[in-house]
Amino acid sequence: MENYEELLNCIVKEIQKKSTKTSVPVGISNRHIHLSHGALTKLFGQGYELTELKPLSQTGQFACKECLTLCGPKGVIEKVRVLGPVRKDTQVEILMSDSFKLGIKGDVRLSGDIADTPGLTLVGPKGSYELDKGVIVAERHIHMAPADAVAFQVKDGEKVGLKVPGTRGGILDNVSIRVDDSFTLECHLDTEEANAMGITPGLNLEIIK
Amino acid sequence: MENYEELLNCIVKEIQKKSTKTSVPVGISNRHIHLSHGALTKLFGQGYELTELKPLSQTGQFACKECLTLCGPKGVIEKVRVLGPVRKDTQVEILMSDSFKLGIKGDVRLSGDIADTPGLTLVGPKGSYELDKGVIVAERHIHMAPADAVAFQVKDGEKVGLKVPGTRGGILDNVSIRVDDSFTLECHLDTEEANAMGITPGLNLEIIK
| pLDDT at site A150 | 93
Write down the domain spans for chain B.
21-27+140-208, 30-138
Residues of A with CB under 8 A from a CB of B: 95-97, 108, 139-140, 161, 167-174, 190-193, 195-198
User: pLDDT (tens digit, 0 to 9) for every residue of chain A, 209 residues total?
Assistant: 567 888 888 777 666 555 567 899 999 999 999 999 999 999 999 999 999 999 999 999 999 999 999 999 999 999 999 999 999 999 999 999 999 999 999 999 999 999 999 999 999 999 999 999 999 999 999 999 999 999 999 999 999 999 999 999 999 999 999 999 999 999 999 999 999 999 998 899 999 98
Nearest to A29 by CA among A119, A125, A137: A137
**Neighboring chain A residues of B167 at a CB cutoff of 8 Å:** 108, 139, 174
| pLDDT at site B27 | 96
How much is the average pLDDT of B84-109? 97
Kindly report the pTM of this predicted structure: 0.89
- C-alpha count within 13 angstroms, C-beta hemisphere, residue B61: 14
Provide the β-strand partners of residue B76.
B71
Complex ipTM, two decimals? 0.88
Residues of B with CB under 8 A from a CB of A: 95-97, 108, 139-140, 161, 167-174, 190-193, 195-198
Give me the residue from A95, A190, A196 closest to B197, CB to CB: A196
Domain at B21-27+140-208: CATH architecture: Beta Barrel (2.40)
Q: What does the mean pLDDT of chain B come to?
A: 94
CA end-to-end span of chain B, whole Å?
39
Give me the residue from A171, A174, A192 closest to B196, CB to CB: A192
| pLDDT at site B5 | 80
- Model confidence at B16, pLDDT cuts 50, 70, 90, reads low
| pLDDT at site A169 | 97
Give me the residue from A169, A174, A196 closest to B167, CB to CB: A174
Nearest to A101 by CA among A192, A200, A35: A192
